[in-house]
């Protein structure tokens, strides 16, 4: 770990967002912007409490531009009483773009494609589902979070390797 200016070791702490409505429904999410559930908000607060207990007090936070990540980070910071630290949000931390699978129930996709192809789509470094439709991709690219970006950087679909 690199040394900070005070001579102490620095840590990188990675925190996943709390439970989202898509998690509860068993849906592929990707860049779809879904909120946290009540349980997800409790999980984020509990994460902040654990970080505090272990003395892991961040001096900066980075999140995606998706509501579930932003809300989780805000709740963690509230639990740590560190809402004042810098927060940087970037689309580059968004979840993998699941393309045509976004919003679909995982159980339905599994039944359609079988376990082998399902695992390849979800876990293989190069597994890539079908892309978003042209209409959905245009809608995503027009979203205020992504509209300033060159259109080619807003993906219609991603594999883990792409991400």
How does 52-78 read in b/e, with b if 16+ C-beta sit within 10 Å? eeeeeebeebebbbbebbbbbbbbbbe
- In angstroms and rounded to an integer, the radius of gyration of the C-alpha atoms of the chain is 18
Strands 87-89 and 61-63: parallel
With vertex at residue 75, the alpha carbon angle to CA 73 and CA 79, rounded to the nearest 5 degrees, is: 115
Among residues 25, 43, 49, 95, the one annotated as catalytic is 95
Among residues 17, 25, 112, 152, the one annotated as catalytic is 17
What does the block give as tokens for 161? Answer: 């390797």
Across-strand partners of 89? 63
To the query of whether residue 95 is one of the catalytic residues in this protein, the response is yes
To the query of whether residue 42 is one of the catalytic residues in this protein, the response is no
Nearest partner of 128 among 114, 139, 116, 117, judged by Cα = 117
Residues carrying an active site annotation = 17, 95
């Amino acid at each position: 770990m690199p040394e900070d200016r005070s001579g102490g070791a620095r840590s990188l702490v990675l925190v996943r967002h709390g439970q989202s409505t898509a998690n509860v429904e068993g849906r592929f999410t990707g860049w779809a912007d879904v909120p946290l559930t009540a349980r997800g908000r409790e999980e984020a607060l509990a994460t902040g409490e654990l970080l505090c207990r272990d003395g892991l007090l961040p001096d900066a936070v980075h999140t995606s531009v998706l509501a579930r990540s932003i809300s989780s980070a805000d709740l963690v910071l509230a639990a740590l009483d560190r809402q004042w630290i810098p927060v940087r949000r970037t689309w580059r931390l968004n979840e993998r773009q699941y393309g045509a699978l976004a919003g679909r129930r995982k159980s339905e996709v599994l039944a359609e494609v079988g376990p082998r192809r399902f695992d390849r789509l979800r876990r293989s470094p190069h597994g890539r589902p079908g892309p978003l439709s042209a209409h959905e991709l245009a809608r995503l690219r027009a979203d205020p979070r992504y509209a300033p970006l060159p259109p080619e950087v807003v993906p219609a679909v991603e594999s883990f390797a792409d991400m």
